């Protein structure tokens, strides 16, 4: 028998971080190199205690381009090119998520975004707007090889970078995959395991491989 319960994360009000957090982050930026701060992050990366979570947030405030208030970073969350990554207020990032930034690229995660464990982001030119739910294990790709010329291995051919945009209020299902150049319209739902190869219109439900529209919300 199904049970309906009230949303918890989606109704949570964002709290302002204590003043000592940005103060410590500022001290770290002033007195430790970027690589030293990354090494410190590794010390607190994997344990699931309140203190480790606090230190992850403080250290990321000194490493990432921007980290908002009331952000929760789960154990084992990893970043490359963290200086290109922005995280808004009230964001939750689940354990073992990997956000792969790109030199001279950008990744902007809006406010009150919930990201499930084991997610992967090829965050070359990625924008996730406010109030998005991202299911565990879901992935986004931001580039593809030209595969030309055909007489060399594909992995040696040039990359085409295509921006990906997830508009506000979307829900991305468990293990879904968003391919390069795709925009998911406002309030859309992507079904579990779907592979999205084309733009999704606002308030549309898509599912399947490749994903196809099922109906409007």
The full DSSP string for 159-196 is EEE--EEE-TT-EE-TT-EE-TT-EE-TT-EE-TT-EE
| 86 and 32 part of one domain | no
pLDDT in tens, 144-185: 999 999 999 999 999 999 999 999 999 999 999 999 999 999
The mean pLDDT value for 190-205 works out to: 98
The pLDDT of residue 166: 98
pLDDT in tens, 64-115: 999 999 999 999 999 999 999 999 999 999 999 999 999 889 999 999 999 9
Per the prediction, the chain carries an average pLDDT of 96
Joined tokens for residue 47: 């344990």
| 73 and 162 part of one domain | yes
**15 pLDDT more than 90:** yes
Q: According to DSSP H, which parts of 33-131 are helical?
A: 34-43, 50-61
Q: By the 8 A CB rule, do 123 and 83 touch?
A: no
pLDDT in tens, 35-64: 999 999 999 999 999 999 999 999 999 999
Least reliable range by pLDDT among 4-13, 130-139, 155-164: 4-13
Q: Whole-angstrom distance between the N-terminal and C-terminal Cα of the chain?
A: 24
Q: By the 8 A CB rule, do 61 and 22 touch?
A: yes
What is the C-alpha to C-alpha distance for residues 214 and 204, in angstroms, rounded to an integer? 8
What is the C-alpha to C-alpha distance for residues 114 and 216, in angstroms, rounded to an integer? 23
Report the domain count for the chain. Answer: 2
Domain hosting 59: range is 16-63
C-alpha of 182 from chain center: 15
CATH of the domain at 73: 2.160.10.10
| 54 and 95 part of one domain | no
**2 pLDDT more than 90:** no
3-state secondary structure of 104: strand
**1 pLDDT more than 90:** no
| 46 and 149 part of one domain | no
The pLDDT of residue 209: 97
| 127 and 182 part of one domain | yes
User: Can you give the pTM of this predicted structure?
Assistant: 0.94
Q: Quick one: DSSP state of residue 216?
A: E
Assign residue 113 a region (left: φ > 0; alpha: ψ between -120 and 50; beta: otherwise): beta
The pLDDT of residue 64: 98
Q: Which pairs from 100-104 meet CB under 8 Å and 24+ separation?
A: 102/142, 102/161
The pLDDT of residue 87: 98
| 86 and 163 part of one domain | yes
């Amino acid at each position: 028998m199904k049970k309906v319960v009230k949303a918890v994360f989606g109704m949570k009000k964002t709290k302002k971080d204590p003043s000592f957090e940005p103060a410590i982050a500022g001290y770290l930026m002033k007195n430790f190199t970027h690589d030293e701060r990354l090494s410190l992050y590794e010390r607190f990366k994997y344990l699931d205690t309140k203190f480790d979570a606090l230190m992850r947030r403080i250290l990321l405030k000194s490493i990432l381009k921007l980290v908002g208030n009331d952000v929760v970073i789960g154990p084992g969350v990893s970043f490359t090119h963290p200086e290109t990554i922005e995280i808004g207020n009230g964001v939750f990032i689940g354990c073992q998520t990997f956000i792969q930034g790109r030199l001279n690229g950008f990744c902007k995660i809006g406010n009150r975004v919930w990201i499930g464990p084991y997610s992967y982001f090829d965050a070359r030119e990625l924008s996730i707007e406010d109030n998005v739910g991202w299911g565990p294990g879901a992935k986004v790709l931001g580039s593809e090889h030209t595969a030309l010329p055909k007489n060399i291995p594909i992995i040696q051919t040039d990359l085409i970078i295509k921006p990906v945009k997830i508009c506000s209020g979307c829900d991305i299902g468990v293990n879904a995959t968003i391919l390069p150049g795709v925009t998911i319209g406002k309030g859309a739902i992507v079904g579990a395991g779907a592979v999205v190869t084309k733009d999704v219109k606002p308030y549309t439900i898509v599912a399947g491989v490749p994903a196809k529209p099922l109906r409007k919300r």
